[in-house]
A and B are shown apart, each in its own frame.
Chain A
């Protein structure tokens, strides 16, 4: 297998530096993608909840409006 790979003139099999770099990409990449995904899930869930809560609040308080808050004061 190794001999076959060495036949490819542009390839340099088992180069430890490149292998190390690829392993770094693996763990750093996976960590970053799951952090991004986690944050998106949290942000979407929070946004959905806030929107649902505000809708429920408006439904149960038909008179509610930002203007009314100032009028009461």
Chain B
């Protein structure tokens, strides 16, 4: 009868803790609607890989194999997800006001500041850079960077990145209010929908890919996939491919990505004191991203005639489209007639591109 208690005999307290963490992720996904598409598979996966003698993480186990093929060998899963994200994004609001791109760049400040702080705390540079990329507020980029840099904390980084992305509506308004006056938050921005031609929309993904490829070649796989998805959307002759990329394709990759990432959530690798430090650093990255975007908008106001509401600077983090919605909501709270959504979306999509470029840049600078 020993075979019946074989699993119980090798069960460790760490594995039980991971079941609780898995349960918490499932709870947050279902009850609090926090990034359910990823937190739920990750939560279930955390339980799955922490069952004693679990065959899914054995040499030819399904989750280990998926991890090796889909993430470890080529980072294929996060990159393929970028095709779907690219197909979902309408760059129209950005193309009608390209200077908003500056805010998307400034809102990556938290990444760099966090890398420095993580280095001061004592993380090796590969881990510090991977922790900093939590500030990209972009799951696939966080997965890719931490994986390429072979960080020892990949699972913690990904869980923290997705958790804070879900917490954007709580974190950002508080930071924006601390950094701005009521008068600044009430700045009205008129949206003139400059007609963006189809040709501009088609050329944009090609231009971005070429420029990113020439200046920051390491970012090309992320930016290239993102722009490829967008080209499919904008070309106008691949409607069914565009729809598939936006829905079925993205869903399949997201589903597999969540449960595959759980491979990294084995108790011995995940349950470390450093995970708590990474959680604190992740929050720090999001806060400084927001500060970077808001203060850049204030700086631009010193030189421009048409004033920018600094709230939209906060939308420069790439949590799309949540950050834009938060900016719109904050604008309406200050003045019900002040609709910032289209401006915020422009900044938000520029943040999406900027974070992918920064991800590639960091890989290139660390390796």
Contact = CB atoms under 8 A, between A and B. Distances in A.
Nearest to A22: B119
B228 to A, nearest CB: 17
B277 interface: yes
- Chain A's interface: helix, strand, loop or mixed, by majority? helix
Given A29-B358, A33-B354, A36-B212, A41 B115 contact: no
Interface in B195-213: 196-197, 199-200, 203-204, 207-208, 211-212
Interface in B57-108: 95, 98-99, 101-102, 104-105, 108
B272 interface: yes
Nearest to B212: A36
A37 B128 contact: no
Contacts of B354: 33, 37
A14 interface: yes
Given A18-B128, A33-B108, A48 B200 contact: yes
A34 to B, nearest CB: 6
A13 B122 contact: yes
A8 B275 CA distance: 11
B178 interface: no
B121 A13 contact: yes
Given A10-B152, A19-B120, A33-B358, A44 B204 contact: yes
Interface string A23-36: 11110111011111
Interface in A1-51: 5, 7-8, 10-15, 18-19, 21-26, 28-30, 32-37, 39-41, 43-45, 47-48, 51
Interface in B320-367: 350, 353-354, 357-358, 361-362, 365-366
Given A22-B128, A29-B358, A51-B197, A15 B102 contact: no
B27 interface: no
Contact of A41 (B98, B113, B197): B98
B128 A39 contact: no
Contact of A36 (B99, B115, B216, B277): B216
Contacts of B120: 13-14, 19
Contacts of B115: 22, 25-26
A29 B122 contact: no
Of B119, B120, B123, most buried by chain A (CB within 10 Å of CB) is B119
Contacts of A24: 365
B274 A10 contact: yes
Nearest to A26: B112
Contact of B101 (A21, A40, A47): A40
Given A25-B112, A26-B116, A41-B98, A35 B215 contact: yes
Nearest to A10: B274
A10 B211 contact: no
Contacts of A19: 116, 119-120
B200 A51 contact: yes
Contacts of A51: 197, 199-200
Contacts of B357: 32-33, 36
B302 interface: no
Contacts of B104: 37
A8 B365 contact: no
Given A19-B119, A39-B215, A47-B200, A10 B112 contact: no
Given A8-B277, A21-B125, A29 B112 contact: yes
B279 to A, nearest CB: 14
A19 B208 CA distance: 32
Contacts of A43: 207, 211
Contacts of A10: 152, 272, 274
Interface of A: 5, 7-8, 10-15, 18-19, 21-26, 28-30, 32-37, 39-41, 43-45, 47-48, 51, 55
Q: Which 5 A-B pairs have the closest CB atoms?
A: A11-B122, A22-B119, A13-B122, A26-B112, A12-B122
Given A25-B112, A51-B197, 8 more contacts: A5-B122, A11-B122, A11-B123, A13-B120, A19-B116, A36-B357, A43-B207, A48-B196
